[in-house]
């Protein structure tokens, strides 16, 4: 049994539970407990706000841990390079494949429903295209600039040599930029959520609508896990590593 679940549910935030016990994440997602963007409330508070009995959540969390067949990597102690590879292979690759497919789908939706649902489809396509462009630029900056810098820091630390210094100052500076971009990505997702009526669409929504909504929901869920790994695990660990050398 994972010790993180044997605690007073008022003592740790949703974010901390997700960081310390990855097996809890599917349960948090099931009940729409946001462990990524707004995860600073404790489990008892969130359960009360969402109208979910706390004992049910605790029971499901314990069961999720007990039934886990294979141990997930503990990203709190695994090498940073391994964590970054996981982020790139699991989340960046998904986005690079999915975003163009969704862009084509919403273009088809505009062609089919652009006149009927002009107030929804055109703004939705505009927001999505902006979101796609900004996110693809964000991925490139991480893979080509930030992640290699982190890899060099970790390699120097493992070798016991002086950590590299950069002209822009501490690595917390570019990390801060990435976190700001994560916040901007969330705002664009929120805009799309509003434009789609919480993924409901018009009363006569066609299959193409439903397909786009399903893909958007999947993308949102993946982004939550993706940003959680970076904001709550990778970036804090990098800052601890750099500060330890000061």
- Which of 77, 47, 80 lies closest to 61 in space, CA to CA? 47
All CATH 1.10.3910 domain ranges of the chain, comma separated, are 3-66
More confident residue, 209 or 37: 37
89-147 per-position pLDDT tens digit = 999 999 999 999 999 999 988 888 767 767 778 899 999 999 999 999 999 999 999 99
Select from 243, 244, 233 the least CA-distant residue to 80. Answer: 233
- CATH number for 3-66 (one of 1.10.3910, 3.40.50, 1.10.3470, 2.60.60): it is 1.10.3910
The structure tokens 């986005």 sit at 95
User: CB–CB of 188/124 below 8 Å?
Assistant: no
Q: How far apart are CA 20 and CA 147, in angstroms?
A: 23
Backbone dihedral angles phi then psi of residue 13, each to the nearest 5 degrees:
-80, 165
218 CB contacts (<8 Å, ≥6 apart)?
98
Burial of 201 (0-12, 13-18, 19+ CB in 10 A): buried
Instruction: Report pTM.
Output: 0.85
CB contact at 8 A, 83 and 233: yes
Contact in structure between 157 and 81 (CB atoms under 8 Å): no
pLDDT given for residue 3 in this prediction:
42
Write down the residue that tokens 């099931």 correspond to.
30
Both structure tokens of 87: 């982020």
pLDDT for residue 71: 60
Q: Give the count of alpha carbons within 13 A of 28, CB side only.
A: 30
User: pLDDT tens-digit profile of 163-194?
Assistant: 778 878 889 999 999 999 999 999 999 999 99
Question: Among 60, 69, 92, which residue's Cα sits nearest to residue 225?
Answer: 92
Q: What are the angstrom distances between the C-alpha of 224 and each of 18, 43, 188?
A: 11, 18, 13
């Amino acid at each position: 049994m994972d010790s993180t679940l044997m605690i007073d549910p008022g003592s740790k935030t949703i974010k901390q539970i997700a960081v310390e016990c990855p097996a809890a994440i599917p349960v948090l997602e099931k009940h729409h407990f946001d462990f990524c963007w707004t995860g600073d409330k404790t489990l008892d508070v969130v359960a009360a706000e969402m109208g979910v009995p706390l004992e049910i959540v605790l029971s499901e969390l314990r069961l999720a841990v007990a039934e886990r067949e294979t141990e997930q990597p503990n990203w709190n102690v695994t090498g940073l390079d391994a964590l970054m590879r996981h982020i790139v292979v699991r989340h960046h690759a998904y986005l690079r494949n999915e975003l163009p497919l969704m862009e084509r789908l919403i273009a088809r939706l505009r062609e089919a429903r652009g006149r009927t649902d002009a107030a929804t489809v055109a703004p939705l396509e505009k927001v999505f295209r902006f979101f796609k462009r900004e996110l693809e630029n964000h991925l490139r900056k991480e893979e080509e600039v930030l992640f290699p810098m982190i890899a060099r820091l970790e390699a120097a630390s493992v070798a016991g040599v002086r950590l590299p210094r950069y002209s822009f100052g501490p690595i917390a500076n570019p990390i801060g930029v990435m976190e700001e971009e994560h916040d901007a990505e969330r705002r664009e997702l929120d805009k799309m959520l509003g434009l789609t009526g919480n993924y409901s669409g018009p009363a006569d929504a066609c299959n193409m609508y439903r397909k786009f909504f399903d893909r958007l929901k999947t993308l949102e869920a993946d982004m939550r896990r993706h940003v959680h790994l970076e904001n709550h695990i990778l970036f804090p660990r990098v800052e601890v590593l750099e500060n330890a050398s000061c």
